[in-house]
Amino acid sequence: MTLSWYGHSSFKLDFNGESSVIFDPYASGSVRGIDMPSLISADEVLCSHDHKDHNARHRVNLTGKLPAYETKVLYSFHDKENGKSRGPNKIHIVSYGDFRAAHFGDQGCIPDAGQLEQLKNLDLALIPIGGVYTLDPAEAKELIGLIQPRITVPMHYRIGKRGLKGIAELSEFTSLFDAVYQVGGKIEIAPGMSGIYCMDYM
The pLDDT of 170-180, averaged and rounded, is: 95
For the stretch 132-158, pLDDT in tens is 999 999 999 999 999 999 999 999 999
Alpha carbons 134 and 18: distance in angstroms, whole number: 32
Q: Is the pLDDT of residue 202 over 50?
A: no
Residue 70 binned pLDDT confidence (cut-offs 50, 70, 90): very high
Residue 90 binned pLDDT confidence (cut-offs 50, 70, 90): very high
Mode of pairing for the β-strands spanning 44-46 and 70-77: unpaired
Give me the residue spans of the domains in the chain: 2-199
Alpha carbons 196 and 202: distance in angstroms, whole number: 19
Residue 201 binned pLDDT confidence (cut-offs 50, 70, 90): low
CATH number of 2-199: 3.60.15.10
